[in-house]
Structure 1
Amino acid sequence: MIARGVDLWKAVISFTENNPGIVDEKHRLRRTDKATFENLLAILTPLAKTTAKFSFKVRPMIGEVVGMFERLDTIFSNIETDPRRPAAWREAAERGRKVVSKYYGLSEQTEVYSLAVLLHPNYRMDFLEAMKWQEDWKETAVDILRSNYEAFYKVVPLESQDDQDTPDNGKEDAEEDPVIAAMMKRSIARRAEAKAVDPIEEWLADVTPLSKKKETVDPLAWWWKGKQRGNERMGLADMALDVFSCPATSVDVERLFSRAGRNVTPLRHSMRALKLAKAVAVGQWFLDDWVPSDLLTNLLQRERDLKEAVRNEKKRKRRLMADKARKKQKTALAEDEEK
């Protein structure tokens, strides 16, 4: 709304000046107020874009929001150090930067953020350099990446069989084929070079360029396509897929916790955990449109049909019993007449 007002600033001012009776004098905009709204936009627009980035999906992934704190910090820092802006707006930018830094500092409590930065195809070590991370921060991030990789994802290449494992053809004294010897020598050299390759160092030393639209790639899709092509990077691809499958926030868990808490009212505090879990699960099914809209109608109709079937069965049994009683009575009368 503010951006639209700035775009139509001349029309808004012209309307208020030509219609003084509509807006009171003390509430009327002045032509000099445009700079105030432009400064306000400079601070609010980055926050609005970041909020939209976090909430444009039901479940945003970590790869879709990585780098947001750094962008906000850079934007607010530029506003704070801009001498052309009024002091009030520089102070506002400084305050906003402090708030961003507060929550950015909390990202150090989880390893997934550092992993996401280093495993993002467009970021890697270049991102840390551009953001001027301190050397100990860089070393910590790389150590986190390496320790998790070696503990859970590292793939050791299979060694080829040794010479003593080759079958004995009874030609121990035969002369060695020079061609085979040369091939084996090259094979041994290649294996030695392959052992020296560090997938993490190789990954961090490179970077994937931005798209033609100057946009970053979708890291989850990028790694998945690479794995489908057989580029496992000695287990690094599996690690990246696990990292970028993590949700960016705990909103889903918090919402579920709050929703479950609302079910435990003072009159229902003795509800068992299993029953509460079922109630919350069914409620979530309705919210996600997993339950057909006519399910309740069909269930009620089925119950009515079942009750009707039971009543009809009882009527049928009563008729059978009545028919048997009449037949028995007729038989008894016939026997009495014969006597």
Structure 2
Amino acid sequence: MLEFAIEYRKALDEISGDRSLNLRKYELSSEEWEIASELCNVFKDATLFFSRSTPNLATVIPAMDHIDETLATNALDSRYRPSIHAALSIGKRTLNRYYNLTDNSEVYRIAMVLHPRHKLNYFKSAGWEDGWIEAAKEIVTEEFARSYASKDDVLEPFVGSKDVVR
């Protein structure tokens, strides 16, 4: 939709500039059109990032958190007109719809917890609720028990080690 708006900028400027339609508050300045173009590029980059043929699951949650934070911060910025606020809010709502879908698959949390850089510390530093962090830990522990607990040769190096999900 943002690409459409940018493509039809001239028509949208005319419509929002027509006083009889009472849409002046949605008229974008040149600076705001530039921001819209930048947002379009960000969303396009994000789409391409998440559409790669070999996505890295451990990067999905941090990327979504970054985009969500950027949208939320800018949506509250008083420098922007209501039209930019509306676009940012729509983008945030759309992102959150996809973000919520990650709850339907345990693999995202497992990938995060087992990632050497993230582990549970990512969730803590990102401000996740304690219940969510504990649930992520339980998911990994249960999957490990289900898949590997009966295999003594695989378990031996980890017996007594708390570094697996810390």
Q: TM-score, normalised by structure 1?
A: 0.36
Aligned with 1:67: secondary structure? Answer: helix
Distance of aligned partners of 1:52 and 1:153 in 2 relative to their CA distance in 1, 3 Å threshold: same
Distance of aligned partners of 1:49 and 1:77 in 2 relative to their CA distance in 1, 3 Å threshold: same
Kindly report the root-mean-square deviation, in angstroms, between the aligned alpha carbons of the 2 structures. 2.7
Q: After the TM superposition, which residues 80-229 of structure 1 pair with which residues of structure 2 at under 5 Å, given as runs?
A: 80-154=75-149, 155-157=154-156, 197-198=160-161, 201-205=162-166
Q: In percent, how many aligned pairs have the same letter?
A: 20
- CA deviations over 1:276-313 (Å, ceiling 9, x no partner): xxxxxxxxxxxxxxxxxxxxxxxxxxxxxxxxxxxxxx
Provide the C-alpha distance between the structure 1 equivalents of 2:118 and 2:37, rounded to a whole number of angstroms: 28
Say if 1:54 and 1:65, in contact at 8 Å, map to a contact too. yes
- Give the residue type in structure 1 aligned to 2:67: L
1:75 shift after superposition: 1.1
Q: After the TM superposition, which residues 254-333 of structure 1 pair with which residues of structure 2 at under 5 Å, given as runs?
A: none
The equivalent position to 1:67 in structure 2, one of 39, 46, 62, is 62
Aligned with 1:202: secondary structure? Answer: coil
Alignment partner, residue 40 of structure 2: 44
Aligned with 1:147: secondary structure? Answer: helix
Provide the C-alpha distance between the structure 2 equivalents of 1:59 and 1:125, rounded to a whole number of angstroms: 24
The number of aligned residues is 138
- Give the residue type in structure 2 aligned to 1:48: K
Instruction: Name stretches of at least 5 consecutive residues in structure 2 with no aligned partner.
Output: 1-9, 15-27
- Give the residue type in structure 1 aligned to 2:49: K
- CA deviations over 1:209-250 (Å, ceiling 9, x no partner): xxxxxxxxxxxxxxxxxxxxxxxxxxxxxxxxxxxxxxxxxx
1:128 shift after superposition: 0.8
Distance of aligned partners of 1:38 and 1:131 in 2 relative to their CA distance in 1, 3 Å threshold: farther
1:88 shift after superposition: 2.1
Alignment partner, residue 73 of structure 2: 78
Say if 2:32 and 2:80, in contact at 8 Å, map to a contact too. no
1:66 shift after superposition: 4.3
Moved over 4 A (4+): none
The equivalent position to 2:30 in structure 1, one of 6, 10, 34, is 34
- CA deviations over 1:130-166 (Å, ceiling 9, x no partner): 32211111111110011001221243439xxxxxxxx
Say if 1:43 and 1:76, in contact at 8 Å, map to a contact too. no
Alignment partner, residue 49 of structure 2: 53
Which structure has the greater CA radius of gyration? 1
Provide the C-alpha distance between the structure 2 equivalents of 1:139 and 1:58, rounded to a whole number of angstroms: 31
Instruction: Name stretches of at least 5 consecutive residues in structure 1 with no aligned partner.
Output: 1-22, 159-193, 206-339
Provide the C-alpha distance between the structure 1 equivalents of 2:146 and 2:53, rounded to a whole number of angstroms: 32
Say if 1:53 and 1:64, in contact at 8 Å, map to a contact too. no
1:42 shift after superposition: 4.3
Say if 2:110 and 2:140, in contact at 8 Å, map to a contact too. yes
1:38 shift after superposition: 2.5
Distance of aligned partners of 1:113 and 1:131 in 2 relative to their CA distance in 1, 3 Å threshold: same
1:77 shift after superposition: 0.8
Say if 1:117 and 1:124, in contact at 8 Å, map to a contact too. yes
1:122 shift after superposition: 2.1
- Give the residue type in structure 2 aligned to 1:60: P
